[in-house]
Amino acid sequence: MHPVENKILNDLLDKYENSKLSRGENQRAIHIAFPFNKKTMPKYFDESSLEIETIHAAAEQMEREGLVAIAWKNQKPGYIIEKLVLCEDHVEEAYERLGRKPKREAEARTKQILEQFYQKTQGEITRSFLSRMITRLESEQSVKEYLDIMDHRKTEQLIDTLDKVEQNRKECYIREFSIEHFHDSKVFETLIPKICKIFREENEELTGFENEEILAEYQIYKTPGYVYMKGNVQIYSAGKQAADISAFPEGIAVAVGSEEDVPDICPDQTIDKVFTIENLTSFYRFKQEHSLVIYLGGYHNRSRRNLLMQIYQKLPDAQYYHFGDLDAGGFYILEHLKRKTGIPFQMFQMDIETLKKYEGYAKPLTENDKKRLMQLEKMELPDEERKLITYMLQKRNKAGTGMYFRIPVRSINHVETKTDF
The pLDDT value given to residue 243:
83
Taking phi over 0 as left and psi of -120 to 50 as alpha, with beta for the rest, 292 belongs to: beta
- Do 251 and 395 share a structural domain? yes
Do 201 and 235 lie in one domain? The reply is no
Entry pTM: 0.64
184 pLDDT exceeds 50? yes
Contacts of 31 (CB under 8 A, 6+ apart): 85, 86
The count of other CB atoms within 10 Å of the CB of residue 211 is 17
Please check whether residue 240 lies inside any domain of the structure. yes
Under the banding of pLDDT at 50, 70 and 90, the label for residue 194 is very high
> Stretch 114-128: mean pLDDT, rounded?
95
Together in a domain, 94 and 107: no
Calculate helix-pair angle for 124-138, 152-167, nearest 10 degrees: 150
Burial (CB count <10 Å: 0-12, 13-18, 19+), residue 152? middle
Task: Specify whether 265 is located in the same domain as 290.
Answer: yes
**Over residues 238-263, mean pLDDT:** 77
Residues 92 and 208 placed together within one structural domain of the fold: no
Structure confidence at residue 382 (pLDDT):
87
Residues 84 and 134 in one domain: no
pLDDT at 23: 59
- Dihedral angle of Cα 102, 108, 109, 110, to the nearest 10 degrees: 100
Percent of all residues in the chain with a pLDDT value above 90, rounded to a whole number: 46
Residues 109, 87 contacting (CB under 8 angstroms): no
The CATH number of the domain holding residue 28 is 1.10.10
Q: How many structural domains comprise the chain? A: 3
Contacts of residue 407, Cβ cutoff 8 Å, sequence gap at least 6:
282, 349, 354, 358
- Please identify, among 46, 79, 98, the residue that sits at the C-terminal boundary of a domain: 98
Same domain, 256 and 268: yes
Residue 418 has a pLDDT of 35
Domain assignment present for residue 421? The answer is: no
Residues 59 and 111 placed together within one structural domain of the fold: no
Q: Which has the higher per-residue pLDDT, 417 or 311?
A: 311
pLDDT of residue 26: 55
pLDDT for the residue numbered 419: 32
Query: How far is residue 218 CA from its own chain's centroid?
Result: 13
343: closest CA among 273, 395, 394, 409? 273
pLDDT classification of 136: cutoffs 50, 70, 90: very high
CATH number for the domain spanning 375: value is 3.40.1360.10
Regarding whether 380 and 241 lie in a shared domain, the answer is yes
Alpha helices in 144-286 (DSSP H): 152-167, 174-182, 187-202, 211-217, 280-285
- Find all residues with CB under 8 Å of 142, minimum gap 6, and list them: 136
- For residue 256, CA distances in Å to 251, 263, 308 come to 15, 7, 12
Q: Does residue 190 sit in the same domain as residue 261?
A: no
Domain membership flag for residue 420 = no
358 and 298 together in one domain: yes
- The whole-number pLDDT of residue 414 equals 46
Asked which of 200, 220, 240 is the last residue of a domain, the reply is 220
The answer to whether residues 114 and 60 touch, using CB atoms and an 8 Å cutoff, is no
Residue numbers of the domain that contains 167:
103-220
Per-residue pLDDT at 417: 36
Do residue 207 and residue 236 come from a single domain?
no
| Average pLDDT rounded to a whole number, residues 117-146 | 94
Q: Sheet of 240-244: strands edge to edge?
A: 240-244, 233-237, 264-267
Dihedral angle of Cα 216, 218, 211, 380, to the nearest 10 degrees: -90
Q: Which of 195, 220, 245 is the last residue of a domain?
A: 220
Whether residue 89 is contained in a domain is answered as yes
